[in-house]
Amino acid sequence: MSDEAYFTCEQRGAAGMVILNRPKALNALNRPMVLSLLRALDDWENDPQIERVVLVSAIEKAFCAGGDIRVLHDQGRAGEHEDMLRFWREEYVLNARIKHYPKPYISLIDGIVMGGGVGISLHGSHRIAGDRYLFAMPEVSIGFFPDVGATYALPRLPGATGVYLALTGDRVGAADALAIGLATHAVPSARMAELAEALTRREALDDILGGFAQDPGPQKLAAERATIAECFGATSLPDVLARLDRAAADGSAFAGKVRQTLAVKSPTSIAIAFEQMRRGAGMDFAEAMRTEYRIVSRVIRAHDFYEGVRAVLIDKDQAPQWQPATIEALDPAATEAYFAPLGADELVLES
């Protein structure tokens, strides 16, 4: 299948319709897909016939499972760092374009949405979660970090849930997503195609969505929200860990499990992610994207990203050898260095 077929952009009635259709890669984003969406958004912004942008997936399993990490890994191993950074520059420009898009931008998410898929949906005006919705930012598992605007969006979720999601990579469904603001509406999977068709009609958007929205049922994290707020609301990473240890000692099985989860993630990635969340709460979106570009420019020249991709996606032995191996062994100055300005190489976003 050609790159063009992976990502179709076309007018359907009142909607600029974007169809993700790369089934073998669970709709993972590559550079041609990013550029196609950027061009479509430019074309549709001033087209009076286009009232809204609608993103849908042609496959049931995933909306978009992320970026094409294996390709990026291989480029890095070959020393093609500029090619890697070109992808991230364009992806981050796209994320900012979506955040500030002047027309309703509606993602129908009925399957896996991770990494880059979060970047092309979360910053839009409307995120519709189907029964199969499954959100995660699992980058700490591969020695990377939660990017595509997570620095801005996750710290703004209530009760430190965004910090929790960034550091653990935990997966949440439609009910939790709606409760904490990752999703704006929940709609049954069986009605998603009907909703996509309705969105092509020249009717009031709120009326259309109101006719499809439903209660998604019980939340997975509801019983743990207080523990999450207490532990992940700490102002330092050592304090997060200490609070989890205390909660586990006081009988919280959830806190004990989370502590075990953190123990197998990249310590460097966890430290970066925590610092993102701490700083990001006070950043505007453009500053957050510049910060992420600073981080990624260093991550691709460090050890853990390549080791994580090897262990999880290539050899699949699930036994990464992180450097350093533990959170306790981290040098705070090394974490700080990921956030340093890039001078002439800073990310430039369109105004």
Report, as residue numbers or ranges, the catalytic residues.
67, 116, 139, 147
Residue of 120, 108, 157, 162 lying closest to 137 (CA atoms): 162
Whether residue 138 has a cis bond before it, omega within 30° of 0: no
Could you tell me the two tokens for 75? 């480029």
Q: In whole angstroms, what is the distance from residue 284 CA to residue 46 CA?
A: 26
Half-sphere exposure of 183 (CA within 13 A, CB side): 30
Q: β-strand 112-114 against 52-57: which pairing, if any?
A: unpaired
Spatial contact of 145 and 311, defined as CB atoms under 8 Å apart: no
Could you tell me the two tokens for 1? 């299948």
Q: In whole angstroms, what is the distance from residue 264 CA to residue 318 CA?
A: 10
Q: In whole angstroms, what is the distance from residue 53 CA to residue 68 CA?
A: 24
Q: In whole angstroms, what is the distance from residue 259 CA to residue 169 CA?
A: 13
Q: In whole angstroms, what is the distance from residue 177 CA to residue 216 CA?
A: 10
Spatial contact of 200 and 209, defined as CB atoms under 8 Å apart: no
Q: In whole angstroms, what is the distance from residue 262 CA to residue 138 CA?
A: 12
Residue of 123, 113, 67, 57 lying closest to 90 (CA atoms): 67
